[in-house]
Amino acid sequence: MFKRLFRLLRRRRGRIGIAIACFLLSIAAIWVLYVASDKINHRPNGFIRLIPPHRAVPEKILDVKYNSFYIAGATPTRIFLGNATAATFILTTNYTLSDTGHMWLTLPPETRLAGPVTIEIDSPHLYMMAGLQGTLLHTLLPDTLLSRLPEGRRQFFNARPLSPASFIMRTYDSAWQQNILVKRTSETAYLRPSPPLLEKQIDGVFCTDGVLSYEPNTAKLMYMYYYRNQFLCMDTNLNVLYKGRTIDTTAHAHIKVSSMVDVGKSTVSSPSGVVNRLSCMDTQWLYVNSKLMANNERKEEFDKVSVIDVYSLKDGTYHFSFYLPNLGEKKIRSFRVFNKTLVALYDHYVYTFRLNF
């Protein structure tokens, strides 16, 4: 048996050598991209941060056991966490993280969900969105039985509900060959601003990627680009109220897009160059988790925190920044602000901070 195995390995050693070489080259390529991206994030970036003390005070920590939870919304007394792997499960907790509970949502008959599913709660409204299917579901809490909303069967990403009859969403427009923002209503189908609000710089997809946020009390929408220092503030009819810039100097996306001919897709082939990693807003402020280090910061300290830059929601002007410390070796992976409390997710932990401004 061993002789046969030895002869087989000798015959195939050329193939094995090629496979090993390809594996090692792929590892080396990943390492080069990581080092290049790290240098981009930590080099002097031509701006200064204002960091007054004690703007975010750590309060409570809760271990939720799994890192698949995300922040779905809040009321004045409760925080709601959805789960990316259990689409119909919701974990609830009070703001002191001392009283937890849960609920299971019920799908309408013959409803099957595919692809990523997200829940957004604007109490008492609860929305479930499956963008790859173009599916929208809704209920009024405390009822947990979802009903299907009229749908266009068009794929969407980054959707934000305004009401059960109105949604803002990002989708792909083949005519413009780029991502666009649209408003979908039950009465008028799709409202598409022309030309598109999102400004194409390279490919129209990755270069326009970003985070869409909605603040219901002010009826303002915000679109924060990932790869450049720009954001759009809009009303609920997608009229631009102002265009803002983050404090860094990255006006153009530093990415290179390559086509994968065999699978018919594109991918980012150069260092990611992410400028704005996360963002959210409340009635007064826009909060941005930037990945870029300022001239007055040191790499050793910058690597131990997540920086949050704070801008006025009224006109987009920068005011100050504050730090959220790492939890062990982990940085924040998501955050939202409710009632002067910043709720952050670190791996499988919920960490709350009291905001003093």
Q: Which two tokens stand for residue 177?
A: 């060959």
Half-sphere exposure of 23 (CA within 13 A, CB side): 6
Per-position DSSP letters for 183-241, written without gaps between them: EEETTTEEE--SS-SSPPSSSSSGGG-EEEEEETTTTEEEEEESSSSEEEEE-TT--EE
Q: Which residues contact 67 (CB under 8 A, 6 or more apart)?
A: 333, 347, 348
Predicted local distance difference test score (pLDDT) of residue 155? 79
pLDDT band at 271 (very low <50, low <70, confident <90, very high): low
Mention every residue, 6+ apart, whose C-beta is less than 8 A from residue 181. Answer: 168, 169, 170, 193, 196, 197, 198, 212, 223, 234, 238
pLDDT tens figures, 30-67: 444 444 444 444 556 789 999 999 999 999 999 999 99
Mean pLDDT of the chain: 86
Q: Which residues pair with 282 in a beta bridge?
A: none
Cα–Cα distance measured from residue 37 to residue 95, given in angstroms and rounded to the nearest whole number: 37
Distance CA 189, CA 249 (A): 39
Q: How far apart are the first and last CA of the chain?
A: 75
Range scoring the smallest mean pLDDT among 53-62, 103-112, 265-274, 326-335: 265-274
pLDDT tens-digit readout, 206-229: 999 999 999 999 999 999 999 999
Range from 180-194, 263-277, 294-308 that averages highest in pLDDT: 294-308
φ/ψ bin of 94: left (φ > 0), alpha (ψ from -120 to 50), beta (otherwise): beta
| Percentage of the chain modeled with pLDDT above 70 | 82
Beta-strand relationship, 157-163 and 189-191 = unpaired
Q: How far apart are CA 291 and CA 38, in angstroms?
A: 10
Tokens of 253: 């996306």
Name the more confident of 220 and 12: 220
Query: In terms of residues, how long is the chain?
Result: 357
Digit-coded pLDDT (tens) for 82-115? 999 999 999 999 999 999 999 999 999 988 888 8
Query: Which of 323, 320, 274, 319 lies closest to 301 in space, CA to CA?
Result: 323
Q: pLDDT at position 21, please?
A: 46
| 187 HSE (CA, 13 A, CB side) | 3
CA distance 39 to 62: 34
At CA 251, angle to CA 179 and CA 320, rounded to 5? 105
Buried b / exposed e over 24-50, threshold 16 CB at 10 Å, is eeeeeeeeeeeeebeebbbeebebebe
- Residue 197 makes CB contacts below 8 A (sequence gap 6+) with 180, 181, 223, 232, 234, 238, 240
Contact 266, 205 (CB under 8 A): yes
Q: What is the pLDDT of residues 163-200, one digit of tens each?
A: 999 999 999 988 999 999 999 887 766 788 888 999 99
